Structure 1
Amino acid sequence: MHNSKKNCRTKMPNFLNNMRSEHLLTLGYLKFSEGEMMVGAERALFMDEISTGLDSSTTYQIVKSLGLITNILGGTTVISLLQPAPETYNLFDDIILLSDGHIVYQGPREHVLEFFELMGFKCPDRKGVADFLQEVTSRKDQPQYWARNDRRYQYVPVKEFARAFQAFHVGQSLSAELSRPFDRSQCHPASLTTKPYGASKMELLRACVEREWLLMKRNMFVYRFRAFQLLVMTTIVMTLFLRTNMHHGKVNDGIVFMGALFFALVAHMFNGFSELAMATIKLPVFFKQRDYLFFPAWAYAIPTWILKIPISCVEVSITVFLGYYVIGFDPDVGRLFKQYLLLLLVNQMAAAMFRFIAALGRTMVVANTLASFALFVMLVLSGFVLSHHDVKKWWIWGYWVSPLQYAMSAIAVNEFLGQKWQRVLQGSNNILGIDVLKSRGMFTEAKWYWIGVGALLGYVVLFNILFTFALSYLKPLGKSQQILSEDALKEKHASITGETPVGSVSAAAGNINNSRSRRNSAAPGDSGRKGMVLPFAPLAVAFNNMRYSVDMPAEMKAQGVDEDRLLLLKGVSGSFKPGVLTALMGVSGAGKTTLMDVLAGRKTGGYIEGDISISGYPKKQETFARISGYCEQNDIHSPNVTVYESLVYSAWLRLPSDVESETRKMFIEQVMELVELNTLRDALVGLPGVNGLSTEQRKRLTIAVELVANPSIIFMDEPTSGLDARAAAIVMRTVRNTVDTGRTVVCTIHQPSIDIFEAFDELFLMKRGGEEIYVGPLGHQSCDLIQYFEGIEHVSKIKPGYNPATWMLEVTSQAQEDILGVSFAEVYKNSDLYQRNQSVIRDISRAPAGSKDLYFPTQYSQSSVTQCTACLWKQHLSYWRNPQYTVVRFFFSLVVALMFGTIFWQLGGKTSRTQDLFNAMGSMYAAVLFMGISYASSVQPVVAVERTVFYRERAAGMYSALPYAFGQVVVELPYVLVQSLAYGVIVYAMIGFQWDTKKFCWYLYFMYFTLLYFTYYGMLAVGLTPSYNIASIVSSFFYGVWNLFSGFVISQPTMPVWWRWYSWVCPVSWTLYGLVASQFGDLTEPLQDTGEPINVFLKNFFGFRHDFLGVVAIVTAAFAIFFAVAFGLSIKVLNFQKR
């Protein structure tokens, strides 16, 4: 909370901290949240900042309804509000005023002004009481309210207010009430419940089952997509391991079958990975409902498990019944169903494990990391990548606790002890199936199938029990908090104690209209703030008969609507002039932001009609972007740069190239002074609601980022949304200062106080449906606006002291139109004001004599080289200050290197058996896939966050797409290099590969470019998809395909000819080719078990040749270049921003 917050209540004070982002809060969401808490037997309701994003009229209606419910039910309601209008404030019975952690006042609303008058402070006549209460405890704002002429003003700290309240009659009554013990005899014994839940256990379980089933039905796309992925993957596997190409004549044939079995297990493990995201997303709602005793954790966990079993049955049916006989597994139908049972248990085990990890991690970042490590250990210790005979004693425990080891052993003995593998090879005493199992170090007894089934069933139960325990006892992870600067901490301490803060230079929020009054009283030739380093040309905007429509939604067509388009703006007209601050207002859904987006050229879809002119010339978006700024409501900025660096970056790319560096720096300093950001110059921006700048500070930064471009016209979308009254006043003073430089400024605004509303010069008022109903000046104390609407017959007069903004929204509502039988849009169209506005529009739409149209020789202010340099500079700063990504990834590389090194300890130097080569290749295969997928996954959220910033910056005309992609791609090069060197040196030494300079360099080369192309692929996946979540889902499919064609599961020569081509376009297969061929491709020693030289075996079995190494190196590097270029093109061509 900023400085202070009012909490209006009926009986008891408390606060609710679990708020969602203010930009997602809508009227429908509010109603749902209220209803969710009110349908039970609860009689105490706590609500936090419910007015954010709503107009004052809607807020009034909601609070009024809550007051009626509270009185009728005899309940207790506590509501914290940011900027309550006077009429909303007057609905409350009691007030709690908090400031810097102290209760300054708590009691009846009627006595709060009396208390402060006793302290020497008086609320002005045209000042909202709520705004006064927020400002009177602030050191910067307090002096303006001092009302005693008999005593010199001295700052009254918060502690003194709190002490005085204890002596005030309201405080004394409160203390007396609290000192009296509660009389239980006055209360019925059954008034308090003794049961933790409101229903029986069976009712709770049934409710959770029904809700989970409903969520599954509405989430069916995810399950269908998973099934489709498995269907496509099964089709690939069937045609890759086609029975006409699959033989049962020798051990190597069995190894191919074993690869198919291993991939089936891996496919279901990766398929279960989606449970991680789905479970994590639902956790915030679960924790809220668990803590409110909606239901116990077991009632939530059981349906989550049981209802997913049919889904598992369908998914396993796809892989088993479609592929079993096509691949050519043992034809015994009993073994078919045994394989089905085993894969069903694997599917269930994977889903249960990932749900448990989600509950343990509680956030996507933590859960993804834990899941990746778990999956990595299970795959490596499954018995296929590394034979259990070669597992070191310090890791043998991991082998025995790996569920995938039991699954691999069971599925292998089920197949290789079948009829097709009963033949005995010459020189062997065992059947072929046992020879195959022994060649990969597998168990050979039939009992291992049932051991595997039992173990998997145990793990399914265990993980679901652990999931339930985690849900029961773990709490949500705490959120990062805003970091206060040293000056802010000194200021806060001084407000509490009354000491004078050292070096305090901040100004008061004061009266926003002071600057306006100074401007109006200034001489005509007085430039005031206009004397800035860089001049600009004042420009006016005129628009006439603007219409905007979108394709009719399918839902509305289904309800019988015949039109093809839905009209959102219905022929609105108006003008915005230099040096004039215009408020764009209307009820929620009136089309304010839509109109602003249309005028600013930010719409990415829909149909626009009408005329827009800039100082007499038709608007051209290419040039308009160079002279305009757009301050978005969401305050989108790169989180890991400072305030000053954000301004330097914007000015660098948006100011003309002929502006000298020193002049640019001076201009930035002037802008920082204008928007009062000097004390925050070195503060990191951070993420909204997580860390970094406060909401009010981010608003001012958003304005400054646009101002350093020296625009003539600035659009601002709800600059005061989500702010308390004092913070809103600071932002509006910044806006007022901007207008006083002579710029054209337009703001949409929801629920302004009287001070904020009357800081505007003109008003553009819209009604729901996209029509204007008033366009004109406000006048002194809104006299022109009031006179216009009071002049309409039967419109109720405004009450003395009432907020004109709230009054106009109330008297022009749809309900009032129906009561009065008038259309305010028609009244306006028939008024003299409309005719005067049309005359102004015609005048602005005519070019003045001797003027010239806007012209710029180039599309962007800076050259492509400068754009690339600036983008790389910002990306470098962002990466350097993002340890959650860069340092964690480096630490992750070191941990994985140590794990690989200890698991495959000194196995790289063993080359006497084919299994030794499989072990060495397994270490490379696991490292490439696991490290690569981790790199690709970790970069995706980073790129997704920056892409949102990219959309804003590209729309502002800062740069083209390719320089942005250049910066994003190039900044990864040194980080991946350092990480691959650290990983490569550790792993190479610990695994014991041959210490040869050339081989060592080849190993580092292939690991570097492999991690690089995986990273660039992660970027490309984000560039091709609308969100990070979809990118991760799509990527999982490609990871599976790359795994299948890597050359480890099935070697390239063994592949059918119709699939062999894909091994040449699979990047992982080239990496494994390079790693294996560079290490072993030149060795000529014979293998003990086959007698073949090592290089001949690699050529015959894998198709790897040492003399082809140069081509492999070029192709591996080419993949990195290809993915990087493709990312740049995707960013340039595709725009997933919907406006």
Structure 2
Amino acid sequence: MEIGVEDEIVDMSTLPPSNGSMMMASRNAYFRNRFSEIDIEVEDSNINQNGPLPIFLKFEDVEYKVRNSQLGSDNPVKVMVTKVSTRHAVEEDRYTRILKGITGSIGPGEILALMGPSGSGKTTLLRVIGGRLLDNTKGKITYNDVKYTPAVKRRIGFVTQEDILFPQLTVEETLVFSAFLRLPTSMTKQEKYAKVETTVKELGLERCRHTKIGGGYLKGISGGERKRTSIGYEILVDPSLLLLDEPTSGLDSTAANKLLVTLQGLAKAGRTIISTIHQPSSRIFHMFDKLLLISEGYPIYYGAARETMEYFSSLRFNPEIAMNPAEFLLDLATGQVNDISIPTDIFEDQEPTHDPSKSVIKYLQLKYKTLLEPREKENHRGVSAPENLQLAIQVKKEWTLSWLDQFVILSKRTYRARCKDYFDKLRLIQSLGVALLLGLLWWKSSTNTEAQLRDQVGLAFYICIFWTSSCLFGAIYVFPFEKYYLIKERKADMYRLSVYYICSTLCDMVAHVCYPTFFFIIVYFMAGFKRTVACFFLTLFVVLLIAITSQGAGEMFGAAVMSIKRAGMAASLVLMLFLLTGGYYVQHIPKFMQWLKYLSFMYYGFRLLLKVQYSGDELYDCESKGGCRPLQSSPQFATVNLKGGLKEVWVLASMAICFRLFAYLWLRRRIDV
């Protein structure tokens, strides 16, 4: 019998019934027989990718630990331990074990539930299985008997607990952009749209397909629809292994039930599905095929979900009142045995001051080690994927587009996701309102006297301040706000980071060019600046150059801190530094502090504005007692040579490029870890 990778469907209705101690052996025998029937011809250059490749996942003795950051080099506790312990003991004290030896397996067509109280390690195990946590991990995890590789990574879909979706996009737009970025180039546009249409119908999203995702203060789709959209985002590329972190969190019973029915349909299409779950209803609980119950990082049950009550009953743990199975299991996992009958021999050797819940948990862990784990490990050794499946999963599933194709698609999505911010009414009113206010305050100003010249120079400096602050604050929050979207999509290899950065910069530049232009057209003619075509366009060019450089600085500091809270603080400090060293408030800076002004692009921008607006030979103050004087002699230009050329243009242009280069490098360091 020959079955293609894409056509292999595991129907759970054909699984052999499991009963008692033979449950695990019969299940694995089934998959052993099914694997023997699969014959897949794998060619490195030609493999059909229209359906999920069957994956049989096995994980054995999985451990994970995190470093204890509180034990610093000068910590007195660590110093004391160092004196009295061996090097191995000190090394152990530096880490906290989160997962403590977990074993299990799951095949195509099955849904495995990871259950346990908060902090038990469910999400950590899910991330380890999904390849999201690779450091400080021990144990053996195989996918069709192959270890984790970049090729395996592209067979895995990961749905996080938080639905990380762009709020301004509709459901259909979200899926369409994902399809165009992730599906292979061999598919035509019509085929990609058809794939989106199929996914929308499969997940029951027809009613809300044209509704925005929403979030925060933006009204959008419901929680259940958002979760199904997140799942659709992943299954568009037919992942063989689908991992979900608390998919029913925040959903009502009806929405959660619909979601599990959807997952059952996805599993029957040949996918292997693992989901963490906290406290499901009894109906949802029985929808899972397998269950892994974790307590304090240790497994205390692994097997068929429907046989959990039978297993714990055999250990003499029985509910004394009518109880949801999930609630019963969570009580056992936390050691809270109120309304539960337990074996009396648990507490025989217990000291009076000992916590009874610890004894319950330790007893269940011991029973798992002696009854369930050896059988599961034996089944691991008895079941192996055929060679053709092992070869198939090592073939990298190519879907990455060319750089230019990614740029075109991502530019459209970035613009759609941010266009409301670009053309915000309040932002437009602010720019035009400030322009009108400045125009009225400096109405037809002139340079006839020293005082009038000082006022006009003050206006030029305020224009620098306004657009430096506006563009700096507008850009510094971009990457901190989109941090989680970017991490999610980069982990899925959706696009190159360079494509994202250039799209983000160019799309944001639309606003950073349009608003200063509208602003400047109003201010320039109302305030009485020099009315020549060359002077107008040169001054506009300088203002736009200041805005673009400020945008680059904002992106650099935003990428460096990657925190919304710290980004605001950084922007305020940088703006204050640039403001004080800009050359207006303090012209003669002490020598030991002069290096600061060379870091300030406002300093160069202000000097450039003065050079393009005023001529050193131009006369002013002709009505004074001393008669006409050249502008260069004014105290306002004491540190500016109006005939010194426009070298500041190259300085600002270099700064704009360098800021963006450093922003990209910081972004790569923060995201691609």
Q: TM-score, normalised by structure 2?
A: 0.83
- 2:436 alignment counterpart: 898
- Tell me, yes or no, if the aligned pair for 2:293 and 2:299 is still in contact at 8 Å: yes
CA–CA distance in 1 between the matches of 2:53 and 2:597? 61
- Tell me, yes or no, if the aligned pair for 2:478 and 2:555 is still in contact at 8 Å: no
- 1:627 alignment counterpart: 155
Q: CA deviation at 1:585?
A: 0.4
Residue 559 to residue 850, structure 1, CA distance change in 2 (3 Å): closer
- Tell me, yes or no, if the aligned pair for 1:617 and 1:845 is still in contact at 8 Å: no
Residue 705 to residue 857, structure 1, CA distance change in 2 (3 Å): closer
1:232-288 per-position Cα deviation (integer Å, ceiling 9, x unaligned) = xxxxxxxxxxxxxxxxxxxxxxxxxxxxxxxxxxxxxxxxxxxxxxxxxxxxxxxxx
1:853-882 per-position Cα deviation (integer Å, ceiling 9, x unaligned) = 644669872222222222211111012234
Name the aligned partner's letter for residue 830 of structure 1: T
How many residue pairs align between the two structures? Answer: 600
CA–CA distance in 2 between the matches of 1:855 and 1:846? 13
1:209-251 per-position Cα deviation (integer Å, ceiling 9, x unaligned) = xxxxxxxxxxxxxxxxxxxxxxxxxxxxxxxxxxxxxxxxxxx
- 2:117 alignment counterpart: 587
Counting only pairs closer than 5 Å after superposition, residues 503-518 of structure 1 correspond to structure 2 as none
- 2:182 alignment counterpart: 654
Residue 1060 to residue 810, structure 1, CA distance change in 2 (3 Å): closer
| Structure ID, larger Rg | 1
- 1:541 alignment counterpart: 57
Name the aligned partner's letter for residue 370 of structure 2: N
- 1:75 alignment counterpart: none
- 1:106 alignment counterpart: none
- 1:790 alignment counterpart: 313
Counting only pairs closer than 5 Å after superposition, residues 906-917 of structure 1 correspond to structure 2 as 906-907=444-445, 910-917=446-453
Q: CA deviation at 1:1034?
A: 1.6
SS in 1 for 2:60: strand
TM-align CA RMSD: 3.0
1:875 aligns with 2:425: no
Counting only pairs closer than 5 Å after superposition, residues 106-505 of structure 1 correspond to structure 2 as none
1:801-827 per-position Cα deviation (integer Å, ceiling 9, x unaligned) = x32111222234324473666521221
Residue 558 to residue 650, structure 1, CA distance change in 2 (3 Å): farther
- 2:353 alignment counterpart: none
User: Unaligned regions of 5+ residues in structure 1, if any?
Assistant: 1-515, 526-531
1:1055 aligns with 2:589: yes
Q: CA deviation at 1:1006?
A: 1.2
1:520 aligns with 2:36: no
- 2:598 alignment counterpart: 1064
1:1106-1126 per-position Cα deviation (integer Å, ceiling 9, x unaligned) = 4512x2223323333332232
Determine what percentage of the aligned residue pairs are the same residue: 25
- Tell me, yes or no, if the aligned pair for 1:798 and 1:804 is still in contact at 8 Å: no
- Tell me, yes or no, if the aligned pair for 2:467 and 2:516 is still in contact at 8 Å: no
- Tell me, yes or no, if the aligned pair for 2:479 and 2:562 is still in contact at 8 Å: no
Q: CA deviation at 1:595?
A: 0.8
- Tell me, yes or no, if the aligned pair for 2:293 and 2:333 is still in contact at 8 Å: no
- 1:615 alignment counterpart: 144
Name the aligned partner's letter for residue 571 of structure 1: G
- 2:126 alignment counterpart: 596
Greater relative CO (CA pairs within 8 A, separation 6+): 2
- 1:706 alignment counterpart: 234
Q: CA deviation at 1:679?
A: 1.6
- Tell me, yes or no, if the aligned pair for 2:556 and 2:666 is still in contact at 8 Å: yes
Residue 1026 to residue 559, structure 1, CA distance change in 2 (3 Å): farther
Instruction: Find 2:292's aligned residue among 764, 768, 771.
Output: 764
- 2:302 alignment counterpart: 775
Residue 808 to residue 1060, structure 1, CA distance change in 2 (3 Å): closer
Q: CA deviation at 1:1135?
A: 3.8
- 2:328 alignment counterpart: 807
CA–CA distance in 1 between the matches of 2:399 and 2:197? 24
1:889 aligns with 2:427: yes
CA–CA distance in 1 between the matches of 2:383 and 2:126? 19
CA–CA distance in 1 between the matches of 2:97 and 2:277? 23
1:890-930 per-position Cα deviation (integer Å, ceiling 9, x unaligned) = 222111111111122111xx112333222111111112212
Q: CA deviation at 1:690?
A: 5.1
- 2:364 alignment counterpart: 824
Instruction: Find 2:261's aligned residue among 733, 741, 748.
Output: 733
Residue 517 to residue 1025, structure 1, CA distance change in 2 (3 Å): closer
- Tell me, yes or no, if the aligned pair for 1:796 and 1:811 is still in contact at 8 Å: no
- 1:1079 alignment counterpart: 613
Instruction: Find 1:862's aligned residue among 401, 407, 432.
Output: 401
CA–CA distance in 1 between the matches of 2:141 and 2:494? 23
1:465-519 per-position Cα deviation (integer Å, ceiling 9, x unaligned) = xxxxxxxxxxxxxxxxxxxxxxxxxxxxxxxxxxxxxxxxxxxxxxxxxxx9995
- 1:571 alignment counterpart: 101
Q: CA deviation at 1:616?
A: 1.2
Residue 1046 to residue 797, structure 1, CA distance change in 2 (3 Å): closer
CA–CA distance in 1 between the matches of 2:377 and 2:635? 83
SS in 2 for 1:823: helix
Which has the higher mean CA deviation after the structures are superposed, 845-854 or 1064-1073? 845-854
Counting only pairs closer than 5 Å after superposition, residues 975-986 of structure 1 correspond to structure 2 as 975-986=511-522
Residue 672 to residue 945, structure 1, CA distance change in 2 (3 Å): same
CA–CA distance in 1 between the matches of 2:50 and 2:257? 27
- Tell me, yes or no, if the aligned pair for 1:547 and 1:610 is still in contact at 8 Å: yes
SS in 2 for 1:617: coil
CA–CA distance in 2 between the matches of 1:647 and 1:876? 16
User: Unaligned regions of 5+ residues in structure 2, if any?
Assistant: 1-8, 17-29, 35-47, 82-92, 338-345, 347-355
- 2:352 alignment counterpart: none
Residue 829 to residue 1078, structure 1, CA distance change in 2 (3 Å): same
Name the aligned partner's letter for residue 809 of structure 1: L
Name the aligned partner's letter for residue 132 of structure 2: R
Residue 548 to residue 1050, structure 1, CA distance change in 2 (3 Å): same
- Tell me, yes or no, if the aligned pair for 2:170 and 2:211 is still in contact at 8 Å: yes
CA–CA distance in 1 between the matches of 2:392 and 2:11? 33
Name the aligned partner's letter for residue 607 of structure 1: N
CA–CA distance in 2 between the matches of 1:1100 and 1:786? 87
SS in 1 for 2:584: coil
- Tell me, yes or no, if the aligned pair for 2:247 and 2:275 is still in contact at 8 Å: yes
Name the aligned partner's letter for residue 699 of structure 1: K
Q: TM-score, normalised by structure 1?
A: 0.50
- Tell me, yes or no, if the aligned pair for 1:879 and 1:886 is still in contact at 8 Å: no
CA–CA distance in 1 between the matches of 2:383 and 2:76? 44
- 2:391 alignment counterpart: 852
Q: CA deviation at 1:950?
A: 0.7
1:333-377 per-position Cα deviation (integer Å, ceiling 9, x unaligned) = xxxxxxxxxxxxxxxxxxxxxxxxxxxxxxxxxxxxxxxxxxxxx
Q: CA deviation at 1:692?
A: 1.4
- Tell me, yes or no, if the aligned pair for 2:50 and 2:238 is still in contact at 8 Å: yes
- 2:645 alignment counterpart: 1108
Residue 812 to residue 1125, structure 1, CA distance change in 2 (3 Å): closer
- Tell me, yes or no, if the aligned pair for 1:642 and 1:682 is still in contact at 8 Å: yes
Q: CA deviation at 1:728?
A: 1.1
SS in 2 for 1:881: helix
- Tell me, yes or no, if the aligned pair for 2:98 and 2:121 is still in contact at 8 Å: yes
SS in 1 for 2:387: coil
SS in 1 for 2:97: strand
Name the aligned partner's letter for residue 718 of structure 1: E
1:368-424 per-position Cα deviation (integer Å, ceiling 9, x unaligned) = xxxxxxxxxxxxxxxxxxxxxxxxxxxxxxxxxxxxxxxxxxxxxxxxxxxxxxxxx
Q: CA deviation at 1:645?
A: 1.1
Q: CA deviation at 1:699?
A: 0.7
Q: CA deviation at 1:717?
A: 0.4
1:48-99 per-position Cα deviation (integer Å, ceiling 9, x unaligned) = xxxxxxxxxxxxxxxxxxxxxxxxxxxxxxxxxxxxxxxxxxxxxxxxxxxx
Name the aligned partner's letter for residue 906 of structure 1: K
Name the aligned partner's letter for residue 1045 of structure 1: T
- Tell me, yes or no, if the aligned pair for 1:976 and 1:1012 is still in contact at 8 Å: yes
CA–CA distance in 2 between the matches of 1:690 and 1:655? 30
1:763-797 per-position Cα deviation (integer Å, ceiling 9, x unaligned) = 11101x2011111112xxx2x211111111x3125
- 1:173 alignment counterpart: none
Residue 930 to residue 843, structure 1, CA distance change in 2 (3 Å): farther
